[in-house]
Each structure stands twice: as structure tokens, then as C-alpha cells.
């Protein structure tokens, strides 16, 4: 049985069909990449999976349990974490204060040791007194991921984690994600435009176009699919 997934998701916003019949599944320790041209529905799909937007049809499941009616907080408590494309942090708070706020955000409240463990796993080697707003893009992403990791999530939804990173930083992100997958057996779902990252780390790739899934398979198979070439690569270079 897959750890996490959705079946036949339909989403309409403002009279416009955003998602139609989208299904996916991910197992423990698996990386699923989600790609597609701008406006394909990738972020909207993550909004549904994380509970920020309520869909009209279909199911979201975790460990065989239907969770479509759970709130964002309830999904976090159930083991689903999510990051966003822009790594926004509280500029005036220190790194230690951000981690403290995260561990006390809701029940069960966590200890400082759990926060320190998460930062160490992610390689966030920044003194606690440093202002979060002074961190570079990769450090901000690590800080936000640490806020999720300290709660030992089963699933992480990462929206363009490689956005704004240099080549060397991309390699470091690759290593971090491999730790989460191989050692912690977290199911990772990545919306990502950096296809070289997905080619290196993804087990499966799902392609959305105009709210529908047009291909799914290994990165090698998907990137060579003529439908994907037409919908994604040509539109990306247009």
C-alpha cells in the first residue's frame, strides 16, 4: 500500500478548472517529481495535498486513511509537511527563535534537542543568534525544512526547493534530500523546474499540463516522451 497519494482530484477556482482527475502515489523512501509548464496546476495540487485548498472531487490518503477533511494543522500532526517556492523567514527573529516558535507552534510541543537534531541532519551550521533574515537562500530553505523535520514527518511536499540555488548549492541540496529519503524513509514530493535534480534523485516523475496528468514514469522515460516534449519543453522555451 502506498504511504501517501490522491485519487481523481478535481479542483475548480473562480469557475476555472484547475485540476482534473489527477492521481498520484508515493511510498516510504520514494521521491516523486512533479513537473509541467507554468499554469499547469503544480502548486495548486500541493495546495490540495497540504489542505490549504479544498477540492471538489477525489480523495487524499495517508497510510490508507482518507484525510481530505483534515485541516492544515491536522495534516502536519498526521505527518505531512510542506515548504513553499519562496523561502520566507521572519527577518527580525534569530535562527534559534524561529526554531523555538516552530517547536512550540502546536501540540505536542517539542524540545530544543529535537530542533537541534533537525538542524544537524540538514547541515544547518549557523549560530542560533544569527538573524534569520541575513541567511542566504539555501540556509533559509534548510531552516524552514528543519522546522518541519523536527516533527518527524512521513511526507514532505517541497515546492521548487532548488529555486535560486547555485550549482554547488544544488549538489548540497541533493545530498540533504538523499538523507531524508534513504536514512529517514520520508516520501518526498517535489515540484521542480531544475530537471537535472529530478534526473539525479527522482524515482518517478508526474507531468501536469492544463491541470491533467499527461505522463508518469521514470525520469528517463518521462523526459523522452514526445507528449512531454511538446507540452513542457517547447512551452518552456517559447
pLDDT of 236: 52
pLDDT of 98: 98
Asked if residue 163 and residue 148 are part of one domain, the reply reads: no
d(CA 143, CA 79): 18
**Residue of 217, 200, 205, 153 whose CA lies nearest to 180:** 153
Band the pLDDT of 164: cuts 50, 70, 90.
very high
In a domain? residue 84: no
Task: Specify the 3-state DSSP secondary structure of 66.
Answer: strand
Whether the pLDDT of residue 234 is over 70: the answer is no
152, 169, 187 — which closes off a domain?
A: 152
Ramachandran angles phi, psi of 136, nearest 5°: -80, 175
Cβ-contact 61, 67 below 8 angstroms: yes
Cβ-contact 138, 169 below 8 angstroms: yes
Asked if residue 160 and residue 69 are part of one domain, the reply reads: yes
Which range is least confidently modeled, 16-20, 45-49, 107-111, 150-154?
Answer: 107-111
Mean pLDDT of 174-188: 96
| N-term to C-term CA, the chain | 40
Mean pLDDT of 158-168: 94
pTM: 0.93
Question: What are 94-122's pLDDT values in tens digits?
Answer: 999 999 999 999 888 999 999 999 999 99
Q: Provide the residue range defining the domain that includes 131.
A: 89-152
Asked if residue 129 and residue 12 are part of one domain, the reply reads: no
pLDDT of 238: 47
pLDDT of 233: 61
Ramachandran angles phi, psi of 142, nearest 5°: -65, -40
- Residue 215 Cα distances to 207, 219, 238, angstroms: 5, 11, 21
Asked if residue 162 and residue 132 are part of one domain, the reply reads: no
d(CA 233, CA 132): 36
Amino acid at each position: 500500500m502506498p504511504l501517501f497519494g490522491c485519487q481523481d482530484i478535481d479542483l475548480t477556482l473562480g469557475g476555472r478548472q484547475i485540476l482534473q482527475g489527477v492521481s498520484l502515489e508515493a511510498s516510504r523512501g520514494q521521491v516523486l517529481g512533479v513537473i509541467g509548464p507554468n499554469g499547469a496546476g503544480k502548486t495548486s495540487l500541493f495546495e490540495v495535498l497540504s489542505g490549504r485548498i479544498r477540492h471538489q472531487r477525489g480523495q487524499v490518503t495517508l497510510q490508507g486513511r482518507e484525510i481530505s477533511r483534515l485541516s492544515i494543522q491536522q495534516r502536519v500532526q498526521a505527518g505531512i509537511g510542506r515548504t513553499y517556492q519562496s523561502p520566507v523567514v521572519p527577518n527580525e527573529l534569530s535562527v534559534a527563535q524561529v526554531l523555538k516558535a516552530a517547536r512550540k507552534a502546536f501540540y505536542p510541543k517539542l524540545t530544543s534537542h529535537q530542533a537541534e537534531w533537525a538542524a544537524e541532519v540538514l547541515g544547518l551550521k549557523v549560530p542560533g543568534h544569527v538573524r534569520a533574515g541575513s541567511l542566504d537562500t539555501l540556509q533559509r530553505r534548510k531552516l524552514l525544512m528543519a522546522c518541519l523535520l523536527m516533527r518527524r514527518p512521513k511526507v514532505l511536499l517541497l515546492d521548487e526547493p532548488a529555486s535560486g540555488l547555485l550549482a554547488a548549492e544544488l549538489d548540497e541540496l541533493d545530498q540533504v534530500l538523499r538523507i531524508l529519503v534513504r536514512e529517514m524513509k520520508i516520501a518526498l514530493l517535489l515540484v521542480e523546474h531544475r530537471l537535472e535534480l529530478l534526473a539525479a534523485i527522482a524515482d518517478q516523475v508526474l507531468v501536469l499540463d492544463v491541470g491533467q496528468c499527461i505522463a508518469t514514469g521514470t525520469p528517463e522515460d518521462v523526459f523522452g516522451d514526445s507528449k512531454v516534449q511538446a507540452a513542457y519543453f517547447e512551452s518552456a522555451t517559447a
